[in-house]
Amino acid sequence: MIPARLEFLTKPNLPPAQLAGVFAAAGHEIVLVGGSVRDAFLDRPVVDYDFATGARPVEVAGLLEGWADAVYALGAAYGTVAARKDGHTIEVTTYRSEVYRDESRKPTVTFSDDILTDLSRRDFTINAIALSLPDLEAVDPHDGLMDLASRTLRTPLAPAISFGDDPLRMLRLFRFQATLGFAPDDLSVDAVRDMAPRLEIISAERIRDELSKLLMAPAPGEALLMIVDTGLAGYFLPELPGLAMEQDPEHHHKDVLAHTFAVVDKASPDLTLRLAALLHDIGKPATREIGVDGVSFHHHEAVGARMARRRLRELRYPREVVDDVSQLVYLHLRPHTLEMGWTDSAVRRYVRDAGHLLGQLNELVRCDVTTANPKREQMIQDRIDELEERIAVLSAREELARLRAPIDGNQVMSYLNIQPGPQVGEIMRVLLEKRIDDGPYTVAEAFDLVRRWAVQQGMSDPGLSSAMEEE
């Protein structure tokens, strides 16, 4: 009898039932596998489907061509053909096993005719369950259903074999811990400690993608701590273990690593924000000083921004993500420097520097408050409340989101009769600083400021030149 929560997989308008008919007509077995089976049993939404078959990739592609809306040669060399059908993503993989050579970044793929061999080479038992089609009988040689019930992460074969097949599975272990809330078994954790250096053969792009998925989990902090404790972080985020600084017995300061994970957990599941939360204090170890007033980390935000930029580039994050995260790290202390209140010019400068990151920056600053002192926490939160109120008041009064001078560079060049160059950039900077300091001002005031700046620079008075031309 098919469990009620799996009955939707038999609907004729969904890919599982449709593909069962297509492959059966061609004389091929096809089974539903992997995350789609796991999520179906967990009663989680299933939008994309993973299938496995004894048919070879060329045959699979031919069968999908006549059925799917689009077919992609995605991973065909590794046995996978992807397709789109009625808004669903479908991947069909030939039964296989794949093993990484000692120094190789690419697996050696061997195709198989046996679903049991295929399941044995998958990452975890909860992903090594197959559902035969169309009857949806479970094929579960490694007790994955029991592990789903106990919420345990365990490898089908010995962890050393599974992680040796694909070392990225060590990071994936903790990704599933974070996203599913399951607990890794002790054997798997011990194997990660022993085999962590194997992660070095995995491409930065694959590591980046797993890290991003982990960071989008509801509460990644516990899994991140496991990544540090097992030594795995040292091979792709070496700055993270460095945050576990020794606590000075005389000059107490909070555990920066524990604080970092608390900030990540508090932040909304936005990748840029979560990356900034993860990296916002990585400049502290390099700037740690102990003085008469205790421990300090002067300019750690500037040092941290440079470190974050370098690390994210090495992980091959897109340039816009690198720029945004490093800017958030650089600015995350800005509100704390204005304890005397927010003047109009301070608010304008803050909004200008934050730009499109304003909302994320304000949230990062709020999340950065992890003090156990409720009065101090309330004081900092009140300060951000005041800042946001001041932004709202100024925005209602002036075009705060688009701070710019009343005239542009072309008008400056025409007025001064100069060509593009550093002088234009300098005067535009002066004009913008006046806008930030004093608020909106008129075009006439802008030209008067340009005239006075030109005279100070030893240039001819543009106002006098205009008067001579009129005579």
- Residue 295 has a pLDDT of 65
Say if residues 316 and 205 touch (Cβ distance below 8 Å).
yes
Cα R_g (the chain), whole angstroms: 30
> Residue 293: which pLDDT band, with cuts at 50, 70 and 90?
low
Looking at 102, 124, 150, which one is the last position of a domain? 150
- Residue 191 has a pLDDT of 98
Output the CA–CA distances (angstroms, integers) from residue 416 to 238, 340, 435, in the order listed.
53, 41, 20
Domain of 20: which CATH number?
3.30.460.10
CA atoms within 13 A on the CB side of 224: 32
Residues 419 and 350 in one domain: no
- For residues 233 and 216, what is the distance between their CA atoms, to the nearest angstrom? 17
Say if residues 432 and 404 touch (Cβ distance below 8 Å).
yes
Residues 194 and 264 in one domain: no
> What residue has token string 């701070």?
403
Measured in degrees and rounded to the nearest 5, phi and psi for residue 461 equal -65, 115
Residues 459 and 344 in one domain: no
- For residues 142 and 318, what is the distance between their CA atoms, to the nearest angstrom? 39
Average pLDDT, stretch 219-232?
Answer: 97
Amino acid letter, residue 350:
Y
- Peptide linkage before 269 cis (omega within 30 of 0): no
DSSP 250: S
- Residue 464 has a pLDDT of 56
The domain in which residue 362 lies consists of 243-402
- Of 60-69, 119-128, 319-328, 330-339, which range is least confident? 330-339
Measured in degrees and rounded to the nearest 5, phi and psi for residue 124 equal -135, 155
- For residues 58 and 72, what is the distance between their CA atoms, to the nearest angstrom? 12
> What residue has token string 């524990």?
258
Average pLDDT, stretch 311-320?
Answer: 97
| pLDDT of 465 over the 60 cut | no
Instruction: Sort strands 152-153 and 183-184 into parallel, antiparallel or unpaired.
Output: parallel
Residues 384 and 462 in one domain: no
> Residue 248: which pLDDT band, with cuts at 50, 70 and 90?
very low
Nearest to 100 by CA among 195, 16, 228, 21: 195
For 153-208, what is each residue's pLDDT tens digit?
Answer: 999 999 999 999 899 999 999 999 999 999 999 999 999 999 999 999 999 999 99
**Which two structure tokens, joined as six digits, stand for 138?**
């479970």
**DSSP helix/strand/coil, 97:** strand
Percentage of residues in the chain having pLDDT higher than 70: 90
| pLDDT of 251 over the 50 cut | no
**Which two structure tokens, joined as six digits, stand for 397?**
């009064």
Residues 287 and 379 in one domain: yes
| Residue 341 region by backbone torsions, left for phi larger than 0, else alpha for psi between -120 and 50, else beta | left
Residues 227 and 358 in one domain: no
Looking at 374, 402, 430, which one is the last position of a domain? 402
Say if residues 361 and 354 touch (Cβ distance below 8 Å).
yes
Residues 31 and 81 in one domain: yes
Residues 211 and 305 in one domain: no
Residues 23 and 157 in one domain: no
Total domain count, the chain: 4
According to DSSP H, which parts of 103-203 are helical? 115-120, 144-150, 159-165, 168-180, 186-195
Measured in degrees and rounded to the nearest 5, phi and psi for residue 114 equal -120, 120
- Residue 111 has a pLDDT of 86
| pLDDT of 467 over the 50 cut | no
- Residue 335 has a pLDDT of 78
Angle between helices 256-266 and 221-229 (to 10 degrees): 150
- Residue 76 has a pLDDT of 62
Looking at 236, 257, 282, which one is the last position of a domain? 236
Residues 397 and 449 in one domain: no
CB atoms within 10 A of CB 234: 17
Amino acid letter, residue 254:
K
- Residue 250 has a pLDDT of 39
- Residue 466 has a pLDDT of 52
Rounded to the nearest angstrom, the gap between the alpha carbon of residue 269 and the centroid of all alpha carbons in its chain is: 9
**Which two structure tokens, joined as six digits, stand for 85?**
């059908």
For 388-430, what is each residue's pLDDT tens digit?
Answer: 888 888 887 777 777 888 889 899 898 888 889 888 899 898 8
User: How many residues are listed for the chain in this entry?
Assistant: 471
Say if residues 437 and 345 touch (Cβ distance below 8 Å).
yes
Say if residues 147 and 154 touch (Cβ distance below 8 Å).
yes
Q: Greater confidence, 287 or 157?
A: 157
Nearest to 199 by CA among 225, 219, 218, 174: 174
- For residues 435 and 85, what is the distance between their CA atoms, to the nearest angstrom? 54
For 40-96, what is each residue's pLDDT tens digit?
Answer: 999 998 888 999 999 999 999 999 998 999 998 766 667 899 999 998 999 999 998
- Residue 249 has a pLDDT of 41
Output the CA–CA distances (angstroms, integers) from residue 224 to 18, 192, 278, in the order listed.
41, 14, 10
**Which DSSP helix (H) or strand (E) runs through 318?**
none
Beta-bridge mates of residue 291: 294
- Residue 270 has a pLDDT of 97
Amino acid letter, residue 116:
L
For 339-390, what is each residue's pLDDT tens digit?
Answer: 556 788 888 888 888 989 999 999 999 999 887 778 888 888 888 888 888 8
- Residue 470 has a pLDDT of 40
Residues 280 and 371 in one domain: yes
Residues 177 and 222 in one domain: yes
> Residue 246: which pLDDT band, with cuts at 50, 70 and 90?
very low
